[in-house]
Structure 1
Amino acid sequence: MPVTFVDKDLDQLTLTIVADFAAPVRRLWDAYTDPRQIERFWGPPNYPATFLRHDASNGGRSVYRMTGPEGDVHYGCWEWTSLKAPESFEVADSFANEKGEPNTELPTTRMAFAFEATKSGSRLTTTSYFDSVKDLEQLIEMGMLDGTREAMGQIDTVLADLAAFSSDRAVEAKVLGDTQVRVARVIRGTVRQVWRAHTDADLMKRWLLGPDGWTMPVCEIAAQVGNSYRYEWESDGGGDRFGFTGELLESEEPYRAVTTEAMIGMDFPATINELTLTPVDGGTLLSLVITYANAEQRDAVLATGMTNGMEASYARLEGLLETGRVG
């Protein structure tokens, strides 16, 4: 069991949990900042978590849900208040509604995570700060301490799964719900490089092409929030052409961008695409959460082989990065 020390301090209104792991600090850090990994242990075994958003950056937000054995669903959210990779981060942890909005009727907890190297691996010290003894006792009565113990008991399995942290994995898609899919891939390059590759039209025309045999004659970037963009692709023979257009809704350079996306000339509802870039061991984790109008639209898009085209593009981008063509 990784938990080695627990201290409840009623005078300081804190709950401190210390856990030790036989893995390097960087791998433990990545387990917390990668949504694919943290959702494998954040909830206790009978209440597994799904992260719908996970911005591991100063000022970022995370939204997750935990689903119980009877199908009951509970939401939570984090407001990231500080981050110093790979040493520490702090969040305001709140209960939430299905929209990810904090539930003000229940306590919000300030949580500080401190990572340090040890002779046998790494240590994580988690300190929760409460506004009152009442809040502290209420959350413990609701199972916070027991749930945390059970959740941390799952981390060793995640850390031992070396394939989960491999930087050469292809694009993977996970269905998050009836209308959402998360696409993720680690790209060998810095966050700044990957961000630039998504915001420089000349670069995009060189890698965002899907399978071989296509060109990108139109690449109009949305430079500011509120601007629209337009991308069009054409087959080498000139017989086929398609494209997308949309609006830039949010931009937090170089970590997050949110856009709408609609296929040109089609009546399909526009999707919401949330792009997050997170530095991890081996490169940058690109996470794209796509929200569709309904499950039918989600399934129809997945059936087109979307992820295969994305993998071809990201592999091409890595080729540019390896040759130093993206600064």
Structure 2
Amino acid sequence: MPVTDVTTDAEALTMTLVAEFAAPVERVFAAFTDPRQLERFWGPPGYPATFAEFDFAVGGHANYYMTSPKGERFGGAWQFLAIDAPNGFEVLDEFADDDGQPIEGMPASRMVFHFEPTESGTRLTNTSHLNSATALEQILAMGAAEGSRMAMDQLDRVLQGLREYAQGKGTRTEILDDQHVRITRLVEGPIDLVWRAYHEPELLKRWLLGPDGWEMTVCEVEPWVGGRYRYAWAPVGDTEGQPFGFDGETLVLEAPRRAATTEHMTGTDYPTTLNDLNLYEEDGATLVTTLVEYPDRATRDMVLATGMTDGMEASYARLEGLIADQRLTA
């Protein structure tokens, strides 16, 4: 993980994050000053940022919001105070409303980004200066330290490029904490086709089957926020296993890049999980990232023990084959 340290200083009223990246200073600086690249890592998993304005000049402003898997929006605003390309820049960082205006009573900080070369690449030192002990305590209580760590730990995939980051590694499952698991798979194919494959029933039935020997017997999708879905599978022929299914509701739908849904095993009293699907295309390939939120660690471990990753890899390989054969048409 890139982040090596996150510290707070109650006397200096600061929170400082240090991270190491295997890329030159100019490349890391570019990632922090291009809003399209920033959107891929600014915000912890499950809370991706959208920059609606980005005027990178002294006195200029940037406005953004982060959207939770439940559709909640949390706004922020930067005013650029100083720029020393490519060594760093400084902003006034504030919580903002839907119009990009600072929210009264919320803490503001002077945030300094400093990039310095190392033997292996670049060291980032990001220091937030608060104006009171109360403000520092407030942002820490909101999870700023852990949120910043998780956000910066996503930057490697941006700096490397998708194919270097993910190609040939298959489906990868990463445990982020007791409740969150991140699953990634690079699919050779454009984002529009991958999005359709996730949302059109006739296409879902062709690839979302898990290991060989299963068929999708129910595939019902209401493609809108608040819409319901229901999937069911059953073994075919001599395949062992019992039929099962999932149902849930769509909470966020931003075609063709994001869909967040609840997931419940049909006909059981098992707890409901939250699945946050994100797609990103680069050079004709699409990185599929699913952040799964479990109610607790026990449920997380129970699900992972089912061999979920292997089943997903079989499905993704089938999807990739359909795209390669140009058979992904309704």
TM over 0.5: yes
Q: Distance in 1 between matches of 2:307 and 2:170?
A: 14
Work out which of the residue numbers 40, 44, 59 in structure 2 matches 1:51: 44
Contact 2:171 2:183 in 1 (8 A): yes
Work out which of the residue numbers 285, 288, 291 in structure 1 matches 2:290: 288
TM-score, structure 1 as length reference: 0.61
1:108 equivalent in structure 2 = 77
Q: Distance in 2 between matches of 1:202 and 1:326?
A: 10
Q: Distance in 2 between matches of 1:205 and 1:180?
A: 28
TM-score, structure 2 as length reference: 0.61
For 2:210, what is the secondary structure of its paired residue? coil
Q: Distance in 1 between matches of 2:39 and 2:50?
A: 16
Identity of aligned residues (%): 36
2:203 equivalent in structure 1 = 203
Q: Return closer, same or farther for 1:318/1:224 CA change in 2, 3 Å cut-off.
A: same
Q: CA deviation at 1:282?
A: 4.7
Figure out how many residues of one structure are paired with residues of the other and give that number: 246
Deviations 1:41-64 (Å, cap 9, x if unpaired)? x8xxxxxxx8313xxxxxxx52xx
Q: Return closer, same or farther for 1:201/1:129 CA change in 2, 3 Å cut-off.
A: same
Deviations 1:124-178 (Å, cap 9, x if unpaired)? 798666499xx9xx855xx623478732899899857997424332111111221
For 1:193, what is the secondary structure of its paired residue? helix
2:112 equivalent in structure 1 = 144
Q: Distance in 2 between matches of 1:157 and 1:219?
A: 33
Q: Return closer, same or farther for 1:260/1:150 CA change in 2, 3 Å cut-off.
A: same
Contact 2:252 2:261 in 1 (8 A): yes
Q: Distance in 1 between matches of 2:202 and 2:66?
A: 44
Q: Distance in 1 between matches of 2:261 and 2:187?
A: 21
Q: Does residue 81 in structure 1 map to residue 37 in structure 2?
A: no
1:259 equivalent in structure 2 = 261
Contact 2:172 2:185 in 1 (8 A): yes
1:271 equivalent in structure 2 = 273
Q: Distance in 2 between matches of 1:131 and 1:32?
A: 19
Q: Distance in 1 between matches of 2:253 and 2:91?
A: 31
Contact 2:260 2:276 in 1 (8 A): yes
Q: Distance in 2 between matches of 1:290 and 1:268?
A: 15
Contact 1:245 1:264 in 2 (8 A): yes
Summarize the alignment of residues 13-32 of structure 1 with structure 2, pairs less than 5 Å apart.
Answer: 19-21=25-27, 32=37
Q: Return closer, same or farther for 1:245/1:79 CA change in 2, 3 Å cut-off.
A: same
Contact 1:180 1:291 in 2 (8 A): yes
Q: Return closer, same or farther for 1:152/1:185 CA change in 2, 3 Å cut-off.
A: farther
2:316 equivalent in structure 1 = 314
Q: Distance in 1 between matches of 2:213 and 2:93?
A: 60
Q: Aligned Cα RMSD in Å?
A: 4.4
Q: Return closer, same or farther for 1:287/1:189 CA change in 2, 3 Å cut-off.
A: same
For 1:20, what is the secondary structure of its paired residue? helix
Q: Distance in 1 between matches of 2:93 and 2:160?
A: 37
Contact 2:180 2:294 in 1 (8 A): yes
Q: Return closer, same or farther for 1:164/1:248 CA change in 2, 3 Å cut-off.
A: same
For 1:185, what is the secondary structure of its paired residue? strand
Q: CA deviation at 1:80?
A: 2.3
Q: Return closer, same or farther for 1:245/1:128 CA change in 2, 3 Å cut-off.
A: same
Q: Does residue 92 in structure 1 map to residue 63 in structure 2?
A: yes
Q: Aligned partner of 1:204: which letter?
A: L
Q: Return closer, same or farther for 1:184/1:151 CA change in 2, 3 Å cut-off.
A: same
Deviations 1:79-101 (Å, cap 9, x if unpaired)? 42269xxxxxx9636899xx997
Q: CA deviation at 1:250?
A: 1.6
2:223 equivalent in structure 1 = 223
Deviations 1:226-274 (Å, cap 9, x if unpaired)? 2211100010038621110111122111111111110012211111111
Q: Distance in 2 between matches of 1:192 and 1:311?
A: 20
